[in-house]
Structure 1
Amino acid sequence: MKLIRVIHKAPIRVARISKRRQHIRLRRAMVALKMALEQEKAETKEMLDIYKRYTVGRADKSELKIANAQFVDILKGLGLGVFAVLPFAPITIPVIVKLGQLVGVEVLPSSFSLQKKPTEKD
């Protein structure tokens, strides 16, 4: 059995293109993470404002539903944060997310979810 080798005419160029592609992929992932964290920050500030108004008695039920949904998102993030501290986190977190999808439980907070949630109209 013959061993066939693939020899590029420009191996240095191929290596540079590959490195650049990985750099761009990493940058896009970091920008997506930054946007998701900014969205979580804004939603959390809104949640705290709604709870503050609720203690005074100036928030209605629909606003309270929005605040409670954001509170659940925060708890989801804290739950994943526990696994981030454990060893083998790069392996366990994706496995937990995938198992959650198979079971039908959304493990990630809403801003990190790739699919858009349908808007609730009450």
Structure 2
Amino acid sequence: MLRGEGCPKNVLAIKDALEAVEGRWKLLILFALSNGPRRFKQLAREVNGITDKTLSKELKNLVDNKLISRTVHDEFPPTVEYAITTHGESLDRVIEELHQWGVSHRNEVIGK
């Protein structure tokens, strides 16, 4: 395990990682996309509680960070589909570990 002994490169790497997935929604969006490509409204339904405005902003940020792709299908009406990229899939272990920790934490705090 890395120890935060003031190494600027380690701190910068962690800062970059946190900025890429920061916030309440990004990891939940990635989790939803781990089951396959989704359209905007599908994501809005699966990521319970997110507003369309926030979902749009978070999707743009995830695309900018190359964690997901955005594909516009040439049909009428045009449809847009989002999918996790190979780079985004590299977070699978992190998301799974966070899920397991969340279950354990919930049991510790709530006792269920």
TM-score between both structures, scaled by the size of structure 1: 0.30
Where is the helix percentage greater, Structure 1 or Structure 2? 1
Where is the strand percentage greater, Structure 1 or Structure 2? 2
TM-score between both structures, scaled by the size of structure 2: 0.31
Larger radius of gyration: 1
